[in-house]
Amino acid sequence: MQRAALTGVCGPLRGGARPGPVVSWQPVCLFHTGLRAFAADKELLVKLRKKTGYSFVNCKKALEKFSGDSKQAEAWLHEQAQKEGWSKASKLQGRKTKEGLIGLLQEGNAAVMVEVNCETDFVARNVKFQQLVQQAATGTMFYHQGAKDHLTTYIKHFMKAAELSQLRTGPAGCLLSDQLALAIGKLGENMAIKRAAWVAVPATYYIGSYVHGVLPADSPSLSNVALGKYGALVICQASEQSQKSNLADLGRRLGQHVVGMAPLSVGSLEDVPGGDTETKMLAQPFLLDPSITLGQYVQPQGVSVLDFVRFECGEDTEIPEVEETQQRLAQEENSS
């Protein structure tokens, strides 16, 4: 927008008139700095909202508090959200959390399975809750990172809620307890990181895995963690005659069997075949072909089933206090 500005100079006039100001008109540009500042503030607000996920009102308040410094505003928002989360967690404590998800993460010769609970299935489908499940899985995997090298036998380790809350999501990550509080603050439901199982095997072993009731990941960043209502890890040892290319498919079928048939122990190939109430895995009717037992299915394939872990979301169960590896070695000594 342009406006005219008056500029005056003194000069002689005709007819002896007294000299007076000579008026000339020159355009002057007035820059609307207020509009530009508003546009810049709005851009900062939009960016902060998109990055943090907090409301426009809170983001605007944070930017005003720190005179437009987005870094300080973001840090303050996280701090406030965490305080809010802890406050909500305290208020919601005791409310039942029977819904939720099982998260399964597998990396090379190690695998993690976690259970994270919430109050409703609606929240379980929220991407922020799914991110919490992913953080619990990656935090558990990171915690055990150094223990998976140079193994001579497999390791199976369970973790309870109190221990999990003190894990970090990565080398410079946040505590899982803080992430849990943030999720509670944002979603407004009671939640719990209930349990985790970590398994690692040496080179001659492999881990079969399966998740049932799989939910599609709403975020691309969740693609490395399988999410569902049931999960299984099956620890196997392959002979030299077994076909390595088929191990992944075989491991998946074994995981399906564990989820569907819910065995309580592995048993042995010498066990008498049982019916639908059988609890020894190898003596159970094979889920995908009930005309044979699971033992009869795996034996010709040159595979030995050594152990398994089964998680069902919301189930009432006690996590073993003793290391499973120690239990298994003791059993082997007794049977030899």
pLDDT (tens digit, 9 = 90+) per residue, 207-220? Answer: 999 999 876 655 65
* Average model confidence (pLDDT) across the chain: 81
Average confidence (pLDDT) over 13-33:
48
Of 299, 302, 210, 301, the closest CA to residue 260 belongs to: 210
325-329-332-336 Cα dihedral, nearest 10 degrees = 170
Whole-number pLDDT of residue 241: 66
Q: 220-272: per-residue pLDDT in tens?
A: 567 789 999 999 999 999 887 666 668 889 999 999 999 999 999 999 999 99
pLDDT value of residue 221: 65
Residue of higher predicted confidence among 102 and 204: 102
Smallest CA-to-CA distance from 81 within 195, 220, 174 is with 174
pLDDT at 218: 58
Instruction: Check pLDDT > 60 for residue 180.
Output: yes
Helix-, strand-, coil-residue percentages of the chain, each rounded to 5 = 40, 30, 30
Nearest partner of 239 among 206, 284, 283, 268, judged by Cα:
206
Q: For the chain, which residues make up each domain, given as ranges? A: 33-92, 99-327
**Predicted local distance difference test score (pLDDT) of residue 198:** 97
> What DSSP state is assigned to residue 270?
T
Residue 53 to residues 46, 74, 119, Cα–Cα distance (Å): 10, 11, 22
Cβ neighbours of residue 144 closer than 8 Å, sequence gap 6 or more? 110, 112, 157, 198, 200
* pLDDT above 70 coverage of the chain, percent: 73
Give the integer Cα–Cα distance in Å for 320 and 252: 25
Residue-level pLDDT at 77? 79
Residues 313 and 111: their CA atoms lie apart, in Å, by 18
- pLDDT for the residue 19: 52
Q: How confident is the model at residue 104 (pLDDT cuts 50, 70, 90)?
A: very high
**Whether domain 33-92 has CATH 1.20.930.40:** no
The pLDDT assigned to 259 comes to 97
Grade residue 25 by pLDDT with cuts at 50, 70 and 90. Answer: very low
Model pTM score: 0.71
Q: Do domains 33-92 and 99-327 have the same CATH topology?
A: no
Strand order in the sheet with 205-212: 205-212, 230-238, 303-312
Look at the chain and count its residues.
336
**Span 99-327 CATH architecture:** 2-Layer Sandwich (3.30)
- Give the per-residue pLDDT at 334: 42
> 126-144 in b/e burial notation, b at 16+ Cβ within 10 A?
beebbbbbbbbbbbbbbbb
pLDDT digits (tens, 9 = 90+) for 298-324: 999 889 999 999 999 999 876 554 444
Between the ranges 14-28, 47-61, 109-123, where is the mean pLDDT highest?
Answer: 109-123
